[in-house]
Amino acid sequence: MRALKSNLIVIVSVGLLFLVACNKGDKASDPNSSPVSPPVASQPASSAPATAPATGTKGGQVVKSGAYYLEFVPEKEATGTHLDVFLQKGDKKEPVSNAKVTAQVQLPNGKQQTVALKYDAEGKHYAVLFPGKDAGSYPVKVTADINGEKVDGRFTFNQ
């Protein structure tokens, strides 16, 4: 009888050791483990860069798209936010004055609004007064059409 108890204890102990050893290799069952890497959202092919905007000469966010640079400068005003876009070409950053520029702005409530920017020859940039005054983050997609060539940039401003 005593031998049977000893054999049973040995078998149960070996079984438990086996279960523990098998479980250590299975990280998916460990609630404290994290995934190897989060899924990466695929980006559609476009002329917009994959990197975050840099700071430009006017103090705004800048993206380079092909031979063009887009600098986005939002300025808060009493009636909304003045959106300035400096569209420049080449290493010398020559102003581009003949583009059709629009900004698609997402409001904090999720709704979207598209506005056309007009060229200001004196300031050598495109501008519009955006009326949104709700607090929050406003993602903006700027699209410039230069004689059929599309240039895109993504920016954000906060109210």
Nearest to 150, CA basis, from 107, 87, 93: 87
Residue 154, pLDDT above cutoff 60: yes
With a pLDDT cut of 90, the percent of the chain lying above it is: 55
Question: Could you count the other beta carbons within 10 Å of the beta carbon of residue 112?
Answer: 10
Give the pLDDT confidence score for residue 9 in this predicted structure: 66
Identify the structural domains of the chain with CATH numbers, from first to last: 54-158 (2.60.40.2480)
pTM exceeds 0.95: no
Main-chain phi, psi angles of 53, to 5 degrees: -60, 145
What value does the mean pLDDT take over residues 17-26? 50
- Each residue's pLDDT tens digit, 41-72: 333 333 444 344 565 567 789 999 999 999 99
What is the mean pLDDT of the segment spanning 19-36? Answer: 45
Per the prediction, the chain carries an average pLDDT of 77
Bridge partners of residue 117, in order along the sequence: 101
Higher pLDDT, 97 or 42: 97
Q: Is 13 in contact with 21 (CB distance < 8 Å)?
A: no
Tell me the C-alpha distance between 91 and 68, whole Å.
9
The total of other beta-carbon atoms located within 10 Å of residue 148's CB is 5
Q: Is 70 exceeded by the pLDDT of residue 127?
A: yes
